[in-house]
Amino acid sequence: DHVKACGSVLDSDLPTPILLCLLGYTTLSGEIGTKKKVKRLLSFQRYFHASRLLRGIIPQASLYLLDEDYLGQARHMLSKVGTWDFDIFLFDRLTNGNSLVTLLCHLFNVHGLIHHFQLDMVTLHRFLVMVQEDYHSQNPYHNAVHAADVTQAMHCYLREPKLASFLTPSDIMLGLLAAAAHDVDHPGVNQPFLIKTKHHLASLYQNVSVLENHHWRSTIGMLRESRLLAHLPKEVTQDMEQQLGSLILATDINRQNEFLIRLKSHLDNQDLRLEDARDRHFMLQIALKCADICNPCRLWELSKQWSERVCEEFYRQGDLEQKFELEISPLCNQQKDTIPSIQIGFMTYIVEPLFERWAQFTGDTPLSENMLNHLRRNKAKWRSLLHKQHSSSRSNDHSGQVTDSQEQTLNEEETP
């Protein structure tokens, strides 16, 4: 009865303030105990207590709320969740480290998904907490804040006019779920590391899209455990699981050229038919790929933080490889691979080609132009920092000469 009463509260769309109040109660669960079962129980109790409030039943004792100032700021930020300068780091602090759960609950409500799919809010929250907790907070980059950042970017892309008018509720829910869970349980090391250390995941997935397959399968496991979609017909849930896998697998950076070539062909031939579910799904894959690597297209203050975080994760892998006397992977040697050089290469060969094609698809909307402008400015700043590093390297060189390896690296990095 408790579950039924609690689940019925949000069968229809709720105003944002009510959602925030609910989320305000649940953000406290992370502070009490470390066991997931305890957290989820506390979270459920708060939701049930909140449901009594919403049904007009006055509680006997007052509820302990998140500080009203923080709650007010989080509410204000959510009112601007569709803007590109959204600061996910600030939002994560305001929500007490619950940015992913808070953001997804809000977006599911905004897009009318709770009502359309008749989702039980307690079950949705339970699933989202499972996803958020399955990210490794010790990872500098591949953590729940990155997932929340990608989800916010995906929300922005789903609102692009060229795409939005064709999207179904299923498309939107799959896009948001894929964004939220696309890196779940990421170990903080890359696929080559898993392969050369003979990790069981590499064997399980036969060295092909190892991490992405794991993210997908982990997500499906949590969906089934939570029973979020259990009330839907079996054929519908099976199709959703497959589409979710197709979206998450598309984030494999090793498949970048495959998707770029296909996108270029569609754009050149002008044969994208978004009325067709297959073409819509392809553009959702492209949107998720963009969201996953959009950090260089953010404001410099945000972009720089992400760059430092991802490089720190690379360097940690390099230290681990050195410790176990393995060959240090590309980009993971802190002594040779500087943050500016890594970022310039990433922007030039990975980010720019994809976002230029995305802008071609969207038709140079304000968002696409804004992202490309940030990308160009950020790349110029990294070039400036790289130049300063090389100038410092020259002045510190006893011979006063740049070594052959430094000159070669500089030439490669300065070549578009």
Question: Within 10 A of 132 (CB to CB), how many other CB atoms are there?
Answer: 25
Whether residue 146 contacts residue 179, with contact meaning beta carbons closer than 8 Å, is answered with no
Q: Is 236 annotated as a binding residue?
A: no
Judge whether 143 is annotated as a binding position: yes
- For the record, the structure tokens of 172 come out as 């939107």
- Alpha-carbon 258 to chain mean position: 22
CA geometry: angle at 37 spanning 33 and 97, to 5°? 55
Q: Is 387 a catalytic residue?
A: no
Q: Which of 106, 111, 125, 142 is catalytic?
A: 142
**Under a CB-based contact definition with an 8 Å cutoff, are residues 293 and 354 in contact?**
yes
- Cα–Cα distance, 133 to 125 (Å, whole number): 12
Is 319 annotated to bind a ligand? Reply is no
Our measurement of the distance from residue 343's CA atom to the centroid of its chain's CA atoms, rounded to an integer in Å, reads 19
The answer to the question of whether 92 is labelled as a binding residue is no
Burial bucket for residue 361 (CB in 10 Å: 0-12, 13-18, 19+): buried
The answer to whether 343 is annotated as binding is: yes
Check whether 146 is labelled as a binding-site residue.
yes
Asked if residue 199 belongs to a known ligand binding site, the reply is no
Q: What type of residue is 195?
A: I
DSSP string covering 162-211, please?
HHHTT--HHHHHHHHHHHHHTTTT--SS-HHHHHHTT-HHHHHTTTSSHH
d(CA 184, CA 238): 20
Q: Which token pair is 359?
A: 């802008």
Return binding residues for Zn(2+): 146, 182-183, 292
Q: Mind telling me the catalytic residues? A: 142
Return binding residues: 142-146, 182-183, 292, 343
Return binding residues for AMP: 142-146, 183, 292, 343
